[in-house]
Structure 1
Amino acid sequence: MSLPKLCSLQNADNKKYRCNHATKLASDYKPPQCLFELLPYGNETYAIKNVDNGEFYQNHIRSLASSVKGDGQLWTIVPEAEGTFTIQNVENGEYMTSHAGQLHKGKPGANEHWVIEAREEAKPDLKASFYGFLKNQSNNEYRCNHASQLKDKPVVPNCLTKFIPYDDGTVAIQNQDNYEFFQSSILTMADRVTSDAQKWRLIEVDSEEGNTFYVKNVQNEEYMTSKASQLHAGKPGKDEVWVIEPFDCAQTSSWMSSNAALIGNKPLSEICLPASHDSGTYKRTYHTQYGTQAVTKTQIFDIQMQLMQGARKLDLRPALWNGDFYTAHYTDISKDSGLAATFKVGFQGAAGVALSEALEQVAAFIENNQGELVILKFSHFIDWAKRDDRKDNGLSAEQSRLFISMVRDVLGAHLITGDATNLSSLTVNELLTKGNVIALMPNGFEGIDSMAGIWAIDQLPGEGGYSNTNVLENMVANQEKKLTSHSHDNKSFMMNISWQLTLDTTNCISGATLGTPTILSYAQKANAALSPTLSEWLVHGVINGTYYPNTLQTDICFEAQTQAVALSLAVTRQVERLLHERQETLPA
C-alpha cells in the first residue's frame, strides 16, 4: 500500500494526534505542528519527520532526533484492519501507542493502531514564481539577506528576491543569497515555509511608479515598513508602500527557442550550450565541521534561475541524507592527503538543495519555456550515513529505484524517451518532439531505461574534464589542450569545457577555517577570463570546424559575468560557417 508523503498520525483509540513534542499528543489537528513527512527507506520502512521542527521520531520515544543515524530513527508501517496501521521501531521492535512518551512491547492492540491521513497543504506554484528587488518607496532602500537591514542599492544576489505564489493566493518571499524566507517575526528569517507566518499578501497600490504594493503578513496581518526590523500594525501609509523591480532574464530564459533557426536542425554535437558546475550547492541544508560555505558553494542562483540565466546542462550530485535525496559537494580526505593534518580523515562537505525541489524547479522552468532543452547529469551518488565506508557508501538497489521513481514522478512527460544509442547525433528539434529533459545516470545504475526517460551517461558520449588547478593561466592552457585533443571529424560526441578553478590544499584549509579564499572568489576570476579567451580562440582558429566545445561549464552561472549564452551562440555560428565551407569544397 502506498502511503502519502505528507500526513497526520492520529491514534485510533484516543483520537489524538502526534505532534512536534515527543511526549505530547494534540487533541486537534493543527499544521505544521501535527504535520509529518514519511520518508521511504524501502520494505514498508520509513523515517517520520515532523514538518514544524524538522526532527525525527526514534526508539528513544521521549525525545526527537535531529537526523537519521540508523535503525533507531526508522519505523515499519504495516496496514491493519479498518484502514489503520501499526508503527513499529526497526531497532527495538516496539510500537507507538496511545501514550506519547511510551512504546509498547509485544503484540499490538487497539491502543497501537493509527490512522494515517493524507494532508494537502497549500502548494507553491513555482511556474508562477518571479524574481525581483523589493524597494521601499519612501526611502528607496532594498530588502536584503539581513532581516534587520535595508540596502541602498539592489546588489545581486544579496538583494535579489524570489516571490513564490501559493494556491491560496499568498506568496512566500525568499532571499536569493541565504535562501531564507521573510516571516512574521521580522527580526529573523525562516529556512522553510511551515505556516502562515512565512506567507504574505501583495496588495496592489495605485502609484505613478507602478508595480507597487503593500506587503501584509498572513499570520499577524502586519505590514512591511520602511524600517527593516519592524512591522506596521493598523492602516498602511506611505512608509508601507513597496516597489517590486523585476530582474529581467527574458533573453537568456528562452535563448534556444529564440535561436531555433540556427540550432533547431543541428545535432547536439554541432551546437554549444552553457553548463552549470555543481549546480545544487547554491545553498547548504547540512554541512560537516569543515564543509563551510567558502569551500562548498559553487553557484549564487537557485536551479530555476540558473536555467533562466541560460544554463542548459546541470551537474547534480545526489546524496541520501535523513531519508531524502539532496545535492551534495564533498571531498574524501584520505590519510595521505595534504588536508589530513588539519581535517579529520573522511568525508567533509555539505548537502545542498533537496533533489525533489531542484527537479520541481526544472519542471517549472520547462513549463514556462517549452522550446528549451535541458540536460541533467547525475553522478557521485552517496549514502551519507555510510560515507566513510569507502567500499560500501553508494546507494542500494532499492535506494536507486526510489531515486529513479522520484525523477520520473517529478519530471514526468518532460523526460525525453527513446532508444537512441548516441543522443549527440540527434538534432535539437528531434529531441524536443520527445520531451525537454535528458536525464543521464552513471553506467550500470539500477533502473536505467531510455524508453522511460532514464539514460546511461554513455548514451550521450563526452570528452573533457576539469583542470584541478587554482592558477588561471594553467587552467586556460589545460582546457585548450583538452579541446584540441579531441577531433569532431567523423565522431559525434560532446566536448565539455570545464571553466573552473579548484581550491588547492592551502586554499581549502584557509577557506574552511578562516572563510577565505572561497570557490566563488575564484569563480569570479575564471568567469572574467571566459569571454576574452574564447573570443581569442574564435578569432585565431583554435575553435574551428574540427575542434570546438559543446558545453561551457562554469561556477556562478550569471550571464552578466560569464557571457556563456553569447559565447555558445558565437561558437555555434562559427562551426556552422566552417562546416558549410568545408562541404562546399568537397567534390560534387
Structure 2
Amino acid sequence: MSLPKLCSLQNADNKKYRCNHATKLASDYKPPQCLFELLPYGNETYAIKNVDNGEFYQNHIRSLASSVKGDGQLWTIVPDAEAEGTFTIQNVENGEYMTSHAGQLHKGKPGANEHWVIEAREEAKPDLRASFYGFLKNQSNNEYRCKHASQLKDKPVVPNCLTKFIPYDDGTVTIQNQDNYEFFQSSILTMADRVTSDAQKWRLIEVDSEEGNTFYVKNVQNEEYMTSKASQLHAGKPGRDEVWVIEPFDCAQTSSWMSSNAALIGNKPLSEICLPASHDSGTYKRTYHTQYGTQAVTKTQLFDIQMQLMQGARKLDLRPALWNGDFYTAHYTDISKDSGLAATFKVGFQGAAGVALSEALEQVAAFIENNQGELVILKFSHFIDWAKRDDRKDNGLSAEQSRLFISMVRDVLGAHLITGDATNLSSLTVNELLTKGNVIALMPNGFEGIDSMAGIWAIDQLPGEGGYSNTNVLENMVANQEKKLTSHSHDNKSFMMNISWQLTLDTTNCISGATLGTPTILSYAQKANAALSPTLSEWLVHGVINGTYYPNTLQTDICFEAQTQAVALSLAVTHQVDRLLHERQETLPA
C-alpha cells in the first residue's frame, strides 16, 4: 500500500497528533508542527521527518534525531489487520511500537493504543513554472535587498542581490536570495533555510506607479510590510517607504536558445552540435556538510538548477547521495591514507550535500514546461549512501535504493523523459529527440532499473570522450583540453566530445580553502571562464576546431553566460562544423 509523502499521524485511540515535540501530542492538527514527511527506505520502512524542525523520530522516543544514522531512526509502517484504515508504526532497531503516550514505546503485540491514522496532507505548493528572478529595490532609497537580512545594497550585485520569487497556489510568494538560498521571513533580522509556515510567505500587492512593476511586500503571518530600513517591518498602513520595485533579471535569449536556432540545429544529430554544460550542477548550495566540506571547496555553481538552464546549460552533472532518507546532490572527496590531504583531514570522507534531487528535478520540469523546444541531458553519477561514506568497499546504493531513485526520477519528470529503443542517442537529431520528450536521463552502466522504453538510459547509450585535466594551472588545463580534443576524431564515429573547462584545487588549495576559506572553487572558475571565449575563438580561427575535431559540450563551473559566453561559443562551434561538413560533402564524388 502506498503511503503519502506528506501526512499527519493521529492516534486512533485518543485522537491526538504527533508533533514537533517528541514527548507531546497535539489535540488538533496544526501545520507545520504536526506535518510529517515519510521518506521511504524500501520494504515498508520509512524515516519519519517533522517538517517544522527537520528532525526524525527514533527508538529513543523521548528525543528527536537530527539525522538518520541507522535502524534507530527507521520505522516499519504496515496496515493493521484488526482495525481497518489504521497502521502500526514499529521501530526497526528495537521492534517497539509508537503508542498513545508520546514519550513511550510499546513492547509486545500492538493493541488499540498502537493504532495510527495516517492522513495525506496537501499544503500549499510552489509553482516553479511561474517563478521569476529579479532584484528587489526600495523605491524610497533606491537600495536593494541582499543576502544579509539586516542590510541593503546600493547596487544590484549578482548573486548577492539576486532574488527568486516563487509563487504558491494560495496566491502568496516566497522570496529566496540566490546567494545563500535562504528565505526572507517575518523575523526580518534573520533568514530561514526552508519554508515551513506563513512566516516565510509574502503577498505582492501591486502599487500604481510611473516606474511600474511596483509592490507592497506584506508578510502573511504578521501582516507587516518590508520597508526602507532592512532590519525592520512596518505595521499599519504602508506608505512611500514600503514601495518596492522588482527589476527583472532577463535571460530570455539564453533560456530558449535551442528553439531560437532550430533552423541550425534541429536536423542535426547530437554528435554534430555543441551544448553548454554545467559541472557539479547541484552544489550551488549546501544542505549538510562534513567538518571540512566548506563552501570554499564544495560550491561549484552560483545559480540554482532552473537558472543554470535559463543561462543556457543543456547538460547537467548530478551526483546523488542518499542522506537522511532522501536523495541530494553531493560534492565530496574520499581521502585515503596515502593522500597528501590525510594529515590535515585525517582519513575518510569530506564534502557537502547540496540541493534535494527532487527539488532539482522539479526545477528541470518547470524549465521544460516553460521552454518546450529545449533539450536537456541529465547525467547521474557518483552515487553514494552518505551514511556508509567511509566504507570504501560498500558505500553505493542497494538495489532497492536504486529502484527508489529511478522511481523518483520518473515520478517528477514523467512525460518529459525521452523514451525509445536502445540506441546510440548521439546519432539522433534534435528534432527526433524532441518528438519523444525533452529530457535524456543517463545512469551508470549496470544501474538497477535502466530501461530506455521508460526513459532511463545507460551512460554508454550516449557515448562520450574527454575528461577533466586535474590541474589548477590555467595554461596546463588549456593545453590538456586541446590535446584531448584533437585526440578524438568524429570521422565515421558518433559520440559526444566533452570539453571540461575547470581548474581543480590541488592539495595545498584544498587545505587552505577548507581551513582558511581561500582559495575557492569559484575563484578558480572565474579565472577559467575568463579564458574560455578567447581560447575557443582562437581554436576556431586557427582550425583546431574543424570538421573532424570539435567539442559537443562545454562544461564549466559558474554557468553564467555573462562570464562564460558558452551559448555564443556553442553556436559558433556548431556553425563552423556545419559549414565544414557541408563543404566536405560537396567535394565528394556524385
In the alignment, what sits opposite 2:247? 245
In the alignment, what sits opposite 1:453? 455
Q: Distance in 1 between matches of 2:289 and 2:421?
A: 40
In the alignment, what sits opposite 2:52? 52
CA displacement 1:380-413 (0-9 Å, x = unmatched): 0000001111111000000000000000000000
Alpha-carbon shift at residue 587 of structure 1 (Å): 1.1
CA displacement 1:513-552 (0-9 Å, x = unmatched): 0000000000000000000000000000000000000000
Q: Distance in 2 between matches of 1:492 and 1:111?
A: 64
Alpha-carbon shift at residue 35 of structure 1 (Å): 0.1
Q: Distance in 2 between matches of 1:314 and 1:243?
A: 33
Alpha-carbon shift at residue 184 of structure 1 (Å): 0.2
Q: Does residue 174 of the first structure (1) align with residue 182 of the second (2)?
A: no
Q: Distance in 1 between matches of 2:67 and 2:187?
A: 26
Alignment of structure 1 residues 172-571 onto 2, 5 Å: 172-571=174-573
Q: Distance in 2 between matches of 1:472 and 1:51?
A: 45
Q: Distance in 1 between matches of 2:271 and 2:422?
A: 14
Q: Distance in 1 between matches of 2:555 and 2:168?
A: 34
CA displacement 1:362-393 (0-9 Å, x = unmatched): 00000000000000000000000011111110
- 2:344 counterpart SS class: coil
Q: Distance in 1 between matches of 2:388 and 2:459?
A: 25
Q: Distance in 1 between matches of 2:93 and 2:421?
A: 44
Q: Distance in 1 between matches of 2:113 and 2:494?
A: 65
CA displacement 1:291-316 (0-9 Å, x = unmatched): 00000000000000000000000000
CA displacement 1:429-460 (0-9 Å, x = unmatched): 00000000000000000000000000000000
Task: Identify if the C-alpha distance between structure 1 residues 53 and 440 changes in structure 2 by more than 3 Å, giving closer, same or farther.
Answer: same
Q: Distance in 2 between matches of 1:420 and 1:117?
A: 41
Alpha-carbon shift at residue 420 of structure 1 (Å): 3.8
Q: Distance in 2 between matches of 1:344 and 1:206?
A: 61
Q: Distance in 2 between matches of 1:342 and 1:393?
A: 23
Q: Does residue 75 of the first structure (1) align with residue 75 of the second (2)?
A: yes
Q: Distance in 2 between matches of 1:190 and 1:74?
A: 27
**What is the TM-score with the length of structure 2 in the denominator?**
0.99
Alpha-carbon shift at residue 46 of structure 1 (Å): 0.3
- 1:319 counterpart SS class: strand
Q: Distance in 2 between matches of 1:88 and 1:420?
A: 43
- 1:480 counterpart SS class: helix
- 2:514 counterpart SS class: helix
Q: Distance in 1 between matches of 2:423 and 2:407?
A: 23
- 1:376 counterpart SS class: strand
- 1:82 counterpart SS class: coil
Q: Distance in 1 between matches of 2:418 and 2:330?
A: 25
Q: Distance in 1 between matches of 2:586 and 2:281?
A: 41
Q: Which one is further off, 72-81 or 195-204?
A: 72-81
- 1:572 counterpart SS class: helix
- 1:342 counterpart SS class: helix
Q: Distance in 1 between matches of 2:84 and 2:403?
A: 30
- 2:155 counterpart SS class: coil
Give unpaired runs (5+ residues) of structure 1: none
Q: Distance in 2 between matches of 1:271 and 1:96?
A: 58
Q: Distance in 1 between matches of 2:292 and 2:395?
A: 20
CA displacement 1:136-180 (0-9 Å, x = unmatched): 000000000000000000000000000000000000000000000
Q: Distance in 2 between matches of 1:190 and 1:381?
A: 29
Q: Distance in 2 between matches of 1:344 and 1:92?
A: 34
CA displacement 1:198-236 (0-9 Å, x = unmatched): 000000000000000000000000000000000000000
CA displacement 1:464-498 (0-9 Å, x = unmatched): 00000000000000000000000000000000000
Q: Distance in 1 between matches of 2:318 and 2:359?
A: 12
Q: Structure 1 stretches (4+) deviating beyond 6 angstroms?
A: none
Q: Distance in 2 between matches of 1:192 and 1:230?
A: 21
Alpha-carbon shift at residue 352 of structure 1 (Å): 0.1
CA displacement 1:22-70 (0-9 Å, x = unmatched): 0000000000000000000001100000000000000000000000000
Alpha-carbon shift at residue 336 of structure 1 (Å): 0.2
- 2:60 counterpart SS class: coil
Q: Distance in 1 between matches of 2:122 and 2:83?
A: 24
Q: Distance in 2 between matches of 1:94 and 1:422?
A: 52
CA displacement 1:235-271 (0-9 Å, x = unmatched): 0000000000000000000000000000000000000
Alpha-carbon shift at residue 82 of structure 1 (Å): 1.6
Residues paired across the two proteins, number:
588
Alpha-carbon shift at residue 3 of structure 1 (Å): 0.2
Q: Distance in 1 between matches of 2:287 and 2:205?
A: 32
In the alignment, what sits opposite 1:582? 584
Q: Distance in 2 between matches of 1:430 and 1:420?
A: 14
Q: Which one is further off, 77-86 or 424-433?
A: 77-86
- 2:271 counterpart SS class: helix
Q: Does residue 39 of the first structure (1) align with residue 39 of the second (2)?
A: yes
Q: Distance in 1 between matches of 2:583 and 2:7?
A: 63
Alpha-carbon shift at residue 350 of structure 1 (Å): 0.1
Q: Distance in 1 between matches of 2:580 and 2:198?
A: 59
Q: Distance in 1 between matches of 2:107 and 2:204?
A: 53
Q: Distance in 2 between matches of 1:444 and 1:138?
A: 60
Give unpaired runs (5+ residues) of structure 2: none
Q: Distance in 1 between matches of 2:533 and 2:133?
A: 26
CA displacement 1:318-343 (0-9 Å, x = unmatched): 00000000000000000000000100
Alpha-carbon shift at residue 344 of structure 1 (Å): 1.9
Report sequence identity in percent. Answer: 99
Q: Distance in 2 between matches of 1:157 and 1:268?
A: 32
**What is the TM-score with the length of structure 1 in the denominator?**
1.00
Q: Distance in 1 between matches of 2:539 and 2:421?
A: 36
Alpha-carbon shift at residue 81 of structure 1 (Å): 2.1
Alpha-carbon shift at residue 421 of structure 1 (Å): 1.6
